[in-house]
């Protein structure tokens, strides 16, 4: 049986992590994957959507088609699966128009309703998608990675020599820029930082940090930025590395602490935590704020630290910078968590099962029509 995935491009992060790695599991069920970028031209796309009937199952990834194009696809596709890994029913966190979009909501509703099955990356997206279709049609399959693709960090540096790491697309750089104050707090001198920490009531501080001596400041703290564009962060030495699929694993393993900050909104709750998974696969402890999948993936005190305020970020970074063995221990725990809960091997059969059931359902429906 043939499975056609309509995607943005073969090198797009969503296809590389949410569909392509499961090709082996599909093949084991007799399903053969072919990825096809959605045509941009009107006539070419119409032909592409009509040709969808040649496949047993079509996976539409992320794209919210105009209603008439969705109708055309549904008319020709024998089985239709929609893969969703962002809160596409609204605008992103930094849109000047605000989060609410009637057009996005209408297209999301129509797409989820039209699909035979919907695959989402987390429980938040499942809850939202289930409002538009039968809940049993919605399946949570988290974004997964293959830990064997990643080298493990050695953690030989100490103090101000440590290297923070952030990886992501240009579209998410705004979140890193919003965390500038949190990162700068870790570079301030000890007296200044100590005064700020003393101003925070003990009852309001994380008990894991309370009473812990804060190491000296981390002047010239380095952040390795793996992206397609760089930014400037006050007080932080930004070490830009242009992203490449061939080098990202090695670039991460040369770091010491992975960081992730998200705004507190619906768009962030729809994010599926790829950054954090990559950090943990590379054996890096993670410092992140407790929003969305950060709260679920980062086990506080075990695989990293959840920190909200600049002061808490400074404490977390300082503690990890001072203790290479703590970083190794947390990094190893994070990698085990990836292997146990977010691996391609673990979720591949579930992904293939969803697609196979849609294919079989389409065949039965076709048989009933013919008979």
pLDDT tens string 64-115: 999 999 999 999 999 999 999 999 999 999 999 999 999 999 999 999 999 9
The per-residue pLDDT for 188 is: 79
DSSP states along 71-136: HHHHHH-SSEEEEE-S-TTS--TT-TT-S--HHHHHHHHHHHHH-SEEEESSHHHHHHHTTTS-GG
- Dihedral sign (CA 276, 277, 281, 282): negative
pLDDT for the residue 251: 97
Fold of 147-341: Rossmann fold (3.40.50)
Beta bridge partners of 60: 6, 82
316, 322, 325, 327: CA torsion to nearest 10: 30
User: Considering the entire predicted model, what is its pTM?
Assistant: 0.89
Question: What is the per-residue pLDDT across 219-237, written as a single tens digit (0 to 9) for each?
Answer: 889 999 999 999 999 999 9
- Cα–Cα distance between 120 and 320 in angstroms, integer? 34
Q: State the Cα–Cα distance between residues 11 and 4, nearest whole angstrom.
A: 16
Is-contact 220 161, C-beta < 8 A? no
Q: CB of 325 within 8 A of CB of 298?
A: no
> For residue 208, what is the DSSP state?
T
Average pLDDT per block of 10 residues along the chain, 371 residues long: 96 95 97 97 96 96 97 97 96 93 96 98 97 96 94 95 95 93 83 44 46 60 96 94 94 97 96 97 98 97 97 95 97 97 96 97 62 48
CA nearest to 354, candidates 80, 89, 144: 80
Structure tokens at 31: 């399903």
Provide the CATH topology of domain 2-144+343-370: Rossmann fold (3.40.50)
| Tokens of residue 243, six digits | 């992203």
Say what the pLDDT of residue 361 is: 86
| Annotated domain spans of the chain | 2-144+343-370, 147-341
Q: What does the alpha-carbon distance between residue 367 and residue 219 come to, in Å, rounded to a whole number? A: 70
């Amino acid at each position: 049986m043939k499975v056609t995935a309509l995607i943005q491009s073969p090198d797009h992060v969503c296809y590389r992590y949410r569909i392509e790695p499961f090709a082996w599991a599909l093949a084991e069920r007799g399903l053969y994957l072919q990825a096809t970028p959605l045509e941009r031209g009107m006539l070419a796309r119409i032909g592409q959507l009509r040709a969808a009937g040649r496949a047993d199952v079509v996976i539409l990834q992320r794209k919210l088609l105009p209603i008439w194009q969705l109708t055309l696809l549904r008319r020709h596709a024998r089985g239709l699966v929609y893969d969703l890994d962002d809160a596409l029913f609204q605008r992103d966190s930094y849109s000047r128009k605000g989060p609410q979009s009637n057009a996005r909501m209408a297209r999301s509703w129509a797409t989820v309703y039209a699909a035979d099955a919907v695959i989402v990356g987390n429980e938040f997206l499942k809850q939202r998608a289930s409002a538009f279709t039968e809940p049993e049609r919605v399946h949570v399959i988290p974004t997964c990675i293959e830990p064997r693709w990643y080298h493990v960090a050695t953690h030989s540096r100490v103090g101000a020599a440590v290297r923070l790491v952030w990886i992501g697309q240009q579209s998410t750089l705004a979140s890193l820029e919003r965390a500038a104050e949190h990162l700068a707090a870790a570079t301030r001198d000890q007296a200044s930082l100590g005064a700020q920490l003393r101003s925070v009531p003990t009852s309001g501080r994380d008990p894991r940090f309370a009473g812990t001596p804060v190491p000296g400041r981390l002047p010239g703290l380095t952040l390795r930025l793996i992206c397609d564009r760089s930014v400037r962060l006050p007080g932080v030495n930004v070490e830009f590395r242009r992203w490449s699929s061939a080098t990202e694993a090695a670039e991460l393993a040369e770091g010491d602490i992975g960081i992730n900050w998200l705004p507190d909104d619906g768009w962030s709750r729809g994010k599926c935590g790829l950054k954090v998974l990559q950090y943990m696969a590379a054996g890096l402890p993670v410092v992140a704020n407790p929003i969305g999948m950060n709260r679920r993936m980062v086990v506080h005190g075990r695989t990293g630290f959840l920190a909200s305020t600049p002061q808490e970020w400074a404490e977390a970074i300082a503690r990890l910078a001072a203790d290479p063995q703590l970083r190794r221990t947390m990094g190893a725990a994070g990698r085990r968590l990836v292997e146990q809960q977010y691996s391609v091997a673990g979720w591949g059969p579930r992904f293939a099962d969803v697609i196979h059931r849609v294919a079989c359902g389409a065949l039965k429906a076709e048989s009933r029509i013919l008979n």
